Amino acid sequence: MPAKTPLIGLQSAHFRHPLDLQATQALQQLPGLDLAIRGLLGPVAEQFFQLENLASGILVSDRQLPQLHELLLEACKILDLEPPQLYVRQNPTPNAYTFAMRGKQPFVVIHTSLIDLLTPEEIQAVIAHELGHLKCEHSVYLTMANIAVLAAGQLGLPLGPLVAQGLQERLLEWVRCAEFTCDRAALLVAQDARVVASVLMKLTGGSPTLASQLNLDAFLEQARTYDDLSLSDMGKMLRETQTAQRTHPVPVLRAREIDRWASSQDYEKLLHQRPIPYNEKAKSQGGWRNW
Rounded to 10 degrees, the C-alpha dihedral 172/174/180/186 comes to -90
167: three-class secondary structure by DSSP: helix
61-82 confidence digits (pLDDT tens)? 999 999 999 999 999 999 999 9
- Average pLDDT over the chain, rounded to whole? 80
249-271 confidence digits (pLDDT tens)? 788 889 988 989 999 999 999 98
85: three-class secondary structure by DSSP: strand
CA atoms within 13 Å, Cβ hemisphere of 129: 23
Got the DSSP string for 112-147? Answer: HHHHHHS-HHHHHHHHHHHHHHHHTT-HHHHHHHHH
Tell me if residue 130 is catalytic.
yes
State residue 271 phi and psi, 5-degree precision: -65, -30
28-72 confidence digits (pLDDT tens)? 776 665 665 566 556 666 777 788 888 999 999 999 999 999 999
Query: What letter does residue 212 receive in the DSSP assignment?
Result: G
Q: Which of 46, 121, 122, 130 is catalytic?
A: 130
- pLDDT of 117 over the 90 cut: yes
Q: What is the pTM of this model?
A: 0.84
